Amino acid sequence: MRLSERFIMAYNRIDKQLQKRARLDHYVGFSQLVRRVARNDSMFAQFADDLLEYAELRNAIVHELVEPERIIAEPHPSVVEHIEQIAAIVEKPPLVIPKFQREVHTVCSEDSILEVMAFIREHGYTQFPVYDKDGRFQGLLTDRCIARWLTFELEKVMVNVIEDIAVADVMAYDKTRGDNVSFLPQTATVFDAYSEFEYHLLSDYPRLEALLITRHGRKDEELLGIITPWDIFHLHAINGI
């Protein structure tokens, strides 16, 4: 199959997905659809610039003034491979589960902070969802919060038994007041996760330390996975998403 034919096939697959998401009862051109859908769809927003360029390229390689339409140019192989990759992704977007499904280590607000610090030394984790004794979500304990607590309480720590200091005592020094963590449902896409981190970066909210995944995105549900900023950065670096 010629490169141009592969390009047009992938282009039409993407156009079909755009039409589905737009839910319009009348025809709208490809470029206009991209702009419209990208306003509310984090996945298409990620690919919008590329798709608008490919719309221009499609018009350049297809002569529409003859019947039937005639291909007058051949795209570069790398361009064809990329648009085919986009087509595959928009047809079956990668979901946060099972991509980020893993056991999440949680702590109780009544646990000794010494136990948490020992766990950090052993495993290197820096984010811990905190629940009270009744299973209610209390926030995200981070290494930043621990450092802040130590800054203000170092003298007390030196004269007291650290085993008696609870996670809740340290969480009192969390400046974010819980705005450093968000919840996503298991049906969310990787692009939804990326968009959530980006939103916090561009807003007045504190830096997002983690996204916690539950079945319906509710705080009172079992944790199915966790996404950190490093996970998103690593995914972007490897896949170019």
126: domain CATH number is 3.10.580.10
Question: Are 112 and 223 part of one and the same domain?
Answer: yes
Same domain, 143 and 223: yes
60 and 103 both lie in a single domain: no
pTM value? 0.82
At 117-132, the pLDDT tens digits run: 999 999 988 899 999 9
Domain range for 72: 3-93
What does the pLDDT read at residue 236?
60
Give the per-residue pLDDT at 199: 86
Q: In whole angstroms, what is the distance from residue 105 CA to residue 54 CA?
A: 44
Task: Starting at the earlier edge strand, list the strands of the sheet with 127-131.
Answer: 107-108, 127-131, 137-142
Considering the domain architecture, whether residues 82 and 107 belong to the same structural domain is answered as no
Given CA atoms 25, 29, 35, 41 in this order, what sign does their dihedral have?
A: positive
The CA distance from 41 to 194, in Å, is 12
Same domain? 123 vs 72 = no
Residue 238 confidence (pLDDT) above 50? no
Q: Could you tell me the CA-to-CA distances from 22 to 8, 36, 62 in Å, in that order?
A: 21, 8, 25
- 84 lies in the same domain as 199: no
For residue range 192-217, what is the model confidence (pLDDT) as tens digits?
999 999 888 888 888 899 999 999 99
5: left (phi over 0), alpha (psi -120 to 50) or beta: alpha
pLDDT band for 241, please (50, 70, 90 cuts).
low
Which pair of structure tokens corresponds to residue 197?
A: 């981190």
| Mean of pLDDT values over 50-65 | 86
Ramachandran assignment for 28, one of left (phi > 0), alpha (psi -120 to 50 degrees), beta (any other): beta
- The domain tally of the chain equals 2
